[in-house]
Structure 1
Amino acid sequence: MILFTFPEYEYIGSVLRKSPGYKKGNFFVNRYANSEMHISLDTDVRGQECTILGTIAPPDTNLVSFLLLADTLKRKGARKVTALLPYLAYTRHDKIVTKESLATAWIGGLLEQSQIDAITTLSLHSDEDREYIPLPINALSLAGTFATIIADRSLTDAAIVAPDEGALDRCEAVKRAAEMQMHVASFKKRHTATGIALSRISGTIKPEVIIVDDMIDTGQTLIACCRQLKTLGVKRITIFVTHGLFTGTAWSQLWKLGVDRIYCTDSIPPSLLPKDAHITIIPIAPLLQKELY
């Protein structure tokens, strides 16, 4: 297996290449005088299985370079190309809405047309993503990793809360892995003209709460959730998310709403994550090494 790693993910690639049977693939992303992109390979891939480790998230040059590399590998004789995308971008756009794009289907078509054979990622946003992306997807769960932290921090007696219906399955998976006894409590979310509104909570809560979701972006859903929990008497909240996008600064309001700590993985390069003493970054390289190799 040949592993082609984009520079921003070398912190993961260097670990994965220690696995038996893996070697480094070398490539160069070049530009013509008018800035059009082209790829040069410095590794023979004929008849080989190849994996590309990188991102298709903005800026858009990431998407173009990733897809162009995949297509180049196949055109140069690679037997199989797997996209290793720790954060699979554009999968939130998976609902059919009048006069709006369906980006998940669009990105699925691009990945397929670029001759990618399979995708490996973490915590797929929803089951609908599999319907719109016409490729085999191996979505690794962080439930076991989160459960270990919950046990180490003696949080197994806390209530577990899903901030919206889409997070219920993730919460249930963490509950089972951590052998927690309480039923998962949850909110229903709807978008309004002024932001996000949540229903009354369904289920029982305690003064200490764990929230599990796939990501934190601007933090608006988690802010709405924590604000309601605070009014219900919750004193301490621990948040577990797979992907830490941390767009803007609104998410920092969470510290005033009872949030004690946020755990997220390094599926987004650590150089892009905020430096905050209350945010703990979980390395995903050991999980990938264990699950894939």
Structure 2
Amino acid sequence: MKLLSGNSNPPLAQAIASYCELPLTQASVRRFADEEIFVEIHENVRGEDVFVIQSTSYPANDNLMELLICIDALRRASAKRITAVLPYFGYARQDRKPGPRTPISAKLVANLITTAGANRVLSVDLHAGQIQGFFDIPTDNLYGAPVMSADIQARFTGKPITVVSPDVGGVVRARALAKRLDNAPLAIVDKRRERAGESEVMNIIGDVEGRFCILIDDIVDSAGTLCNAAAALKEAGAAGVMAYCTHGVLSGGAVARVETSVLTELVITDSIAPDEAAAKSAKIRILTIAPLLAEAITRIADESSVSSLFD
């Protein structure tokens, strides 16, 4: 098999290659003067099982086009099978019509990847499970929970912890993590706005007094909901609040918001390459998912079970 990396997250691609004990395929992914993307693969890939590692994070449109053009180049170079490895799948939050005359962009991106020539997709913590069904090709959705649960157990052994979902929509994800943590108690932050123009009221469903609360989510973007939830938990008597999120989008003033919040720490993975502010923040810590992705890639290449990674 061969591993090909775009420009979205070279350190993660290199870490995956090191774990697989393979070099990254030599290729040029560059821009013309008008910012058109040009890809040239400098190795023979005919008949090879090729994995293209590319998160469609900021700048999302550039990284998505890089991925599509890399896939097209490999297809025209007669690669036997092309797997799009998307540590972070952009446009995933547009997975339904929230109102009239709005797009379902996650389905559109799935169509683009399939039409470009991908034979398989590998991603991590898709925003909604039904996105797997948007693809007409085999799609593996890996979970960041094993990486996070190992870190939580190492830091909170013997301490009373409660896993908290920052909204009602994330309860399934929170319950799955709680189960891994010896069936830790579960709490939910119920967020509601009584009327337009009034601030949101946050109610805590579950007992958090005197306990260390672990907020769990798949994406942290502006960090507003996360920081507000942490403040509500502290007001409810939590001994401390940490947050674990798979994808650190951290747009706008998110890093500054985290640093001034009551959160003890925000833990993210390297599915998205952290910017300078996130990398230097004293409150943000980064876990690597390179071993998880590398193991899944190896199993796909060997035609063995991927789901058994989470048994």
Task: Return the TM-score normalized by structure 2.
Answer: 0.84
Specify whether residues 132 and 281 from structure 1 end up closer, same or farther in structure 2 by C-alpha distance, changes over 3 A only.
same
Q: 2:96 maps to what in 1? A: 95
Mapped to 2, the partners of 1:75 and 1:212 lie a distance apart of 42
Counterpart residue number, 1:55: 55
| Aligned partner of residue 134 in structure 1, secondary structure | coil
What's the % identity of the aligned pairs? 25
Q: CA deviation at 1:74?
A: 0.8
Say whether residues 1:176 and 2:142 are aligned partners: no
Of residues 164-173 and 260-269 in structure 1, the stretch that sits farther from structure 2 once superposed is 164-173
Name the CA distance, whole Å, in 1 between partners of 2:9 and 2:34. Answer: 27
The aligned residue for residue 108 of structure 1 is 110
Within 2, Cα distance between the matches of 1:33 and 1:9?
23
Give the drift of 1:238: 0.7
Does residue 158 of structure 1 match 2:157?
no
Q: How far apart, in 2, do the equivalents of 1:290 and 1:14 lie?
A: 14
Return closer, same or farther for 1:153/1:44 CA change in 2, 3 Å cut-off.
Answer: same
Which residue of the partner structure matches residue 77 of structure 1?
Answer: 78
1:266-285 counterparts in 2 under 5 A? 266-271=270-275, 274=278, 275-285=280-290
Q: Counterpart amino acid of 2:235?
A: T
Counterpart among 138, 159, 162 of residue 136 in structure 1:
138
Structure 1 residues 158 and 26: CA distance shift in structure 2, 3 A: same
Residues 177/51 of structure 1: CA separation in 2 closer, same or farther (3 Å cut): same
Q: Which amino acid in structure 2 is aligned with residue 140 of structure 1?
A: L
Q: Separation in 2 of the partners of 1:31 and 1:255? A: 36
Per the alignment, residue 17 of structure 2 pairs with 17
Q: Which runs of 5+ in 1 are unaligned?
A: none
In the alignment of these two chains, the number of paired residues is: 292
Name 2:309's counterpart in structure 1: none
Query: How much has 1:17 moved relative to structure 2?
Result: 2.5
Would you say the 8 A contact 1:157–1:180 is kept in 2?
no
Greater relative CO (CA pairs within 8 A, separation 6+)? 2
Range with greater deviation from structure 2 (86-95 or 130-139): 130-139
Offset at residue 276 of structure 1 (A): 0.9
Query: Matches of residues 39-50 of structure 1 in structure 2 within 5 Å?
Result: 39-50=39-50
Residue matched to 2:6: 6
Distance in 1 between the 2:198 and 2:89 partners? Answer: 25
Distance in 2 between residues matched to 1:105 and 1:8, nearest whole Å: 21
Secondary structure of the 1:24 match is coil
CA deviation vs aligned residue, 1:22-66 (integer Å, no higher than 9, x gap): 443222234456543332221111111101111223322211121
Matched residue type, 1:127 = G
Q: For structure 1, which segment, 95-104 or 269-278, has the greater mean C-alpha deviation from structure 2 after superposition?
A: 269-278
1:193/1:130 CA distance change after superposition, 3 Å: farther
Q: 1-side partners of 2:16 and 2:207: how far apart?
A: 42
1:121–1:193 CA distance, 2 compared to 1 (3 A): farther
Between 1:17-26 and 1:143-152, the stretch displaced more is: 17-26
* TM-score where L is the length of structure 1: 0.89
Structure 2 SS opposite 1:187: strand
